Amino acid sequence: MSILDDILTDKRIELEQRKALQPTAKMRIMAWASPFAPDFSAALRAAPLALIAEVKRRSPSAGEIRTPFDPAGIARAYAAAGAQAISCLMDDKYFGGGDAQFRAVRAAVQVPILYKEFVVDEWQIWHARVLGASAVLLIAAALDDADLRHLLDLCRMAGLDALLEVHNADEMRRAAASGAQLIGINNRDLATFTTTLETTFHLKQLAPPGCLLVSESGIHTADDIRRLRAAGIGAALVGESLLRQPDLQEAVRRLMA
């Protein structure tokens, strides 16, 4: 089994427990009573190349990333430096995220926030809306075509953007067939954990016309950003390389220079 398989198995167990406490019907009612958050896609399209800066405590491949870890302070630094949006990890077991972290970030900034989670169930879409998310991550490798289309439709119904993440050519073709207009290309190989921007440049050729592409993982320098912008990529999602720097505002400015 891959690490993604392990995470998804644990996520389904977690969701059954959470749904027992807060059924989907109740979460849906709470969602419709919640205000709409800032527009994620519009914020990305307003910049020549937008930055989605990530709030992440740890990961299976990198371990602990930033100590001490202050989600609200990190988010405020990102926003002050000009990040167009923020990505906030939701998974606790593998990434050290969760509801409290998301709420702290939402209270700290006005920019759109991506609910970055391993989404496999309708409950999570409504949960994202309740927390004040502007967009939800959907991972093509975690979903079959029927579930993918169903969750994309639910995102539209809930007033949320969906960032559909792909890792390879087959997943990009599935994304194109789904009608997704916001596609993230993850430069990390799920088997080896190696990263290369060449994944973005290769898969871009298979992307549907008019969609906004987000390059994810393995982005470290201003030169990486220049290469992505020159290739017509609309946004970059960056976490670890920023979080390891002592001055987050300066790190963002240097990256986006």
- Catalytic positions are 54, 56, 116, 165, 186, 216-217
Structure tokens at 208: 């549907």
Among residues 133, 196, 121, which one has the least CA distance to residue 163?
Answer: 133
Residues 6 or more apart whose CB falls under 8 angstroms from that of 77 comprise 248, 249, 252
**Which residue type is seen at 2?**
S
Q: Rounded to the nearest 5 degrees, what angle is found at the Cα of 214, between the Cα atoms of 208 and 218?
A: 130
Cβ contact 183:166 at 8 Å: yes
Distances (CA, A) of 187 to 67, 169, 196, 219, 226: 26, 12, 6, 9, 16
